[in-house]
Structure 1
Amino acid sequence: MIELEQARHRLEELGLGQAAQSLDAKLEAASRSQSTYLSFLNELLDAEIQERQRRNVEVRMKLSHLPYRRTLNEFDFSFQPGIDERLIRELAALTFVGRQENVLFLGPPGVGKTHLAVAIAMEAIGQGLPVYFVSLAQLVGDLRKAYEENRLDKRMRVYLRPRILIVDEVGYLPLDPLAANLFFQLVCARYEKGSMILTSNKSFGEWGELMGDPVLATAVLDRLLHHSHIVNIRGNSYRLREKRKTGIYSTPGAQVGQNYPGASGSN
């Protein structure tokens, strides 16, 4: 028993907290199965490695600022049959990140754009890639404050550092000239250096109005779309589907998604 306590204490001194915690259980299991010393040691170290990986994922998840946790397995592709599931699965394999390509999810509110962006982000976090999530309103507000305080370059690095930068809700609020210019600077700085995932309820033809400057909007889109995958979601809102079933709510106007021309695909 003294030797067991000494071993546990030494594991703790080495920073192998999970190994120290699971030592008793691993010894008992090894005794029952008559494992070799080497097998016992490997199982003890595996427990430590798995716990460290779990903690690392939790840290990266916290630093990512994701609004919630969603996986692709939780996404109901049958509710949005227009989405190319094979393309989404390919994006989740993250090869686009190595090529510094972008992903743009287009469609009306509630169709699952942010869910898919978050699900891809969680795959990236699980593979050790740094991710950062921010809405466009939060992004330009943060950069505007940094600009006014003469620390824009320093703050911009926060958005240049992650391998994947997710900018959510592009198009919900128009941008004034300074905000549009700051967004343009960020897109330019990440161009062919890091991937971006954007969600937008606006078609590309409406970005000129969104940014208040068609020429600037063209310059932004030129860089975003040069190496990109475009997923155009035509469908109904997940959030309102139960109300539609009961007849409480019906989609106003024409078919949802009609202002989002084009099909899912890559450029």
Structure 2
Amino acid sequence: MVLDPHRWLELRRFRGLYESGAMSLREIAKETGLNRRTVTKYLSGEAPVAPPKRTTEGRQQGRVVDEVAPLIDAMLRSEILLKASVIHERLASEYQVTINYQRVKIYLQEARPRIAEELGISPGELAGLHRRFEVVPGAQAQVDWGDEGKVLAHVGIPKVYSFHMTLSYSRDPFCCFTTSQDLASFFDCHRAAFAHFGGVPMTIVYDRTKTVVRRHVAPGEAVPLHPEAVAFSGHYDFDIDVLAAYRPAGKGRVERQVLIVRDHVLAGRAFSSTEEMNAAFAAWVPLRRAKVHGTHGEIVGHRAVRDHMALRPLPSTPYVVAQRHLRHVGKDCLVAFDANLYSVPARKVRPRQLVEIRA
């Protein structure tokens, strides 16, 4: 890394303090805002602190990135959160500019706050911004659970959950209520959602729920998917998209739907069964589809027609998800499962054979 003139001048004034022991490398790095390794390199003798190169006329040489700075600034004014990799790619493809990627990244550290200030965006607002994405019809749905608590406690049901699926293009909603979040219930709700929409989206977005992800892994590592989730998605021909950890904005459409359904379907009403709750949602759907959505500005139902037409067709036979367990067959041709004994065909198995049970 070569220091620019301003950073070189700022760092040079700390050299005497460092050599006299008055300031440590860590303190200098904190004071100048430079990386500690850069400070170490230039002050510990690993690299000389030299002034920037000058031309034969004595003028300071300009940076290569300065030639394309107006182009980069224009890109940031149109999209303040544009990534350095995207800017670097567009400079090469659209303007035939060859420049080192790191130079673009370094320039953006200075340019982005400056352009944000021009646009009236404060540093705090800039840190909290995220880019809204849109998709084509039929391309994506988002899935989430809602915890509805003890709405049926008076009839002996301790807890009720709401399953939600939202089509990302139109925001067309689906919801059903269940008393369990287990694997079979989770994918039963998927089948009901596909029937409600009349097809299957190309991709479904999930958070890291245990019914989709086998175990949590470190950031950047491949996420191991649950075998039943893989089999189910293969049967219905959709892709599984698991969000990175701590990315709540990645499925904001469905998370917003959880709150909307809670307010418009459940609030102020009493129910005696999940079937009544499902019927209340079904009665509310036409009202929702008649609304003009605040984000895309169209009537949800009109946009939903395009969404539904682009969905993939349902397979001829449903895929039944089951919990799978391995058990040994006893000498009496019985297997033990869940505190019960079940018989197996004596002609097809032998004692101590390992068999798979689908619950």
TM-score range, shorter chain: 0.3 to 0.5
- TM-score (ref. length: structure 2): 0.26
Higher normalized contact order (CA 8 Å, seq sep 6+, divided by chain length): 1
Q: Which protein is bigger by CA-based radius of gyration? A: 2
The structure in which a higher percent of residues are helix is 1
TM-score normalised by structure 1 residue count: 0.32
